[in-house]
Structure 1
Amino acid sequence: MEGYGTLSGLANFALYFFLSLVMLIAFKYVYTLITPHDEWKLVKAGNIAAAAGLSGAVIGFSLALAGAASNSVSLVDFVIWSLVALAAQSIAFGLVRLLLMPKIVQRINDNEIAAGVILGATSIAVGLLNAACMSY
């Protein structure tokens, strides 16, 4: 029975992948709503700092989303852990803004690349930790 079961998980893959894309789009929308600066507008205008910060947030969220997909026991479980990941990324932005760089919003608006890199790197680090902690 060579090949038997090779595509048996295709339906689950499709469901999780589609839901992951929906969650990723939702994250981008929510994240850009909670930040005081309009990252997407800044990115389209060529602001590298905003691109670095937003890219890090998306990568960080995707890492956590991958952890949720790998460890969830159902689609509902996956959605719940995806929302936890969204909250963690939002908190990461708040921590950077309150503790590390209180003027980060202005610095990103001014295209200070260092500020965007710190925000992006913090977001990726939080995503990695989040994904690891989801391996309950």
Structure 2
Amino acid sequence: MNYVITGQSFLAFAAFMGIGLLILLLAITLVALITPHKEITLIRQGNKAAGIGMAGALVGLALPINSVISHSVSLVDAAIWAAIAAVMQMLAFGISRAIITRRGPDQIDAGNESAGWFSAGVAIAVGLVNSAAMVP
């Protein structure tokens, strides 16, 4: 088979990539804003727990966005379902934070790597389920 990249196919790629990255950026920004601590600052300071948790949040958000883009029928369809996926991930994020921060938000601040790994694991696990649920 011959595959030819046309102007139209490249524009479609760019549009879907743009929507996916935009929603990923907006969602991870919201995650950073709703946390009781400054994850980016903690990561810059070398806090491994914050880095692990944020990396898990990114992967967990990207998984359903990947599925949505792969199975969508249009750019609008992809944008709507990607936004729904992001909301579901943020709900999971909130639940995991409530579980690991029952003693307060100091778990990540203190560099408790097990809290970071738990948070990352929840985000990725929910991202996988979220991803599987968003197919026709």
TM-score between the two structures when normalised by the length of structure 1: 0.90
* Residues 58-97 of structure 1 aligned to structure 2 (within 5 Å): 58-97=58-97
After superposing the two structures, state which structure 1 stretch, 25-34 or 46-55, moved more. Answer: 25-34
Structure 2 partner of 1:25: 25
TM-score between the two structures when normalised by the length of structure 2: 0.90
Stretches of structure 2 lacking an aligned partner (at least 5 in a row):
none
Stretches of structure 1 lacking an aligned partner (at least 5 in a row):
none
What RMSD in Å do the two structures reach over aligned CA positions?
Answer: 1.6
1:6: Cα distance to partner?
2.2
1:100: Cα distance to partner?
5.3
Structure 1 partner of 2:5: 7
What amino acid sits opposite 2:84 in the alignment? V
* Residues 109-120 of structure 1 aligned to structure 2 (within 5 Å): 109-120=109-120
Q: Which runs of 4+ in 1 moved over 6 A?
A: none
1:17-47 superposed Cα distances (whole Å, 9 cap, x missing partner): 1221212211121111111111111111110
1:99: Cα distance to partner?
3.8
What amino acid sits opposite 2:96 in the alignment? V
> How many residues end up aligned between the 2 structures?
134
* Residues 46-57 of structure 1 aligned to structure 2 (within 5 Å): 46-57=46-57
Output the CA distance in 2 between the equivalents of 1:73 and 1:67.
12
